[in-house]
Amino acid sequence: MALIVQKYGGTSVADPERIRNVARRVVETVDAGHQVAVVVSAMAGETNQLVELARDLGGAEPDPREYDVLVSTGEQKTIALLAMAIQGLGRQARSFTGGQLGLRTDTAHTKARIRSIDSERLLAVLRGGSVGVIAGFQGVDDEGNITTLGRGGSDTSAVAVACALEADVCEIYTDVDGVFTTDPNMVPGARMLERVSFEEMLEMASLGAKVLQTRSVKFAMRYGVPIHVRSSFHHGEGTWVLPEEEVMEKLMVSGVTYNRDEAKIRVVGVKDAPGVAGGLLLPFSEAGIVVDMIVQNVSQDGTTDLTFTVPRRDYPAALELARRAATQSGARDVEGDDRIAKVSVVGMGMKDHAGVAARMFQVLGEEGINIQLISTSEIKISVVIEEKYTELAVRALHAAFVEGGAEAPTEER
**Interface ranges with a copy of itself (CB under 8 A):** 16, 19-20, 50, 53-54, 56-59, 62-63, 65-67, 69-70, 72-73, 76-77, 79-85, 87-88, 93-95, 97, 99-100, 144-146
- Residue with smaller CB distance to a copy of itself, 80 or 294: 80
Instruction: Report d(CA 212, CA 218) in Å as an integer.
Output: 11
Instruction: Report d(CA 61, CA 110) in Å as an integer.
Output: 11
Give least dist CB 8 to a copy of itself, A: 14
Q: Lay out the sheet containing 303-311: strands in order across.
A: 294-296, 303-311, 262-271, 333-337
- Residue with smaller CB distance to a copy of itself, 57 or 273: 57
Instruction: Report d(CA 272, CA 282) in Å as an integer.
Output: 17
Instruction: Report d(CA 381, CA 342) in Å as an integer.
Output: 10
Instruction: Report d(CA 391, CA 103) in Å as an integer.
Output: 41
- Residue with smaller CB distance to a copy of itself, 2 or 53: 53
Instruction: Report d(CA 182, CA 227) in Å as an integer.
Output: 19
Give least dist CB 210 to a copy of itself, A: 28
Give least dist CB 26 to a copy of itself, A: 13
Give least dist CB 381 to a copy of itself, A: 46
- Residue with smaller CB distance to a copy of itself, 65 or 353: 65
- Residue with smaller CB distance to a copy of itself, 92 or 300: 92
Q: Is 11 helix (H, G, I), strand (E, B) or coil?
A: helix
Give least dist CB 94 to a copy of itself, A: 7
Give least dist CB 327 to a copy of itself, A: 37
- Residue with smaller CB distance to a copy of itself, 82 or 220: 82
What is the number of H-type helices and E-type strands within the chain? 12, 20
- 8 A C-beta contact, residue 54 and residue 74: no
DSSP-assigned states of every residue in 63-80 = -HHHHHHHHHHHHHHHHH
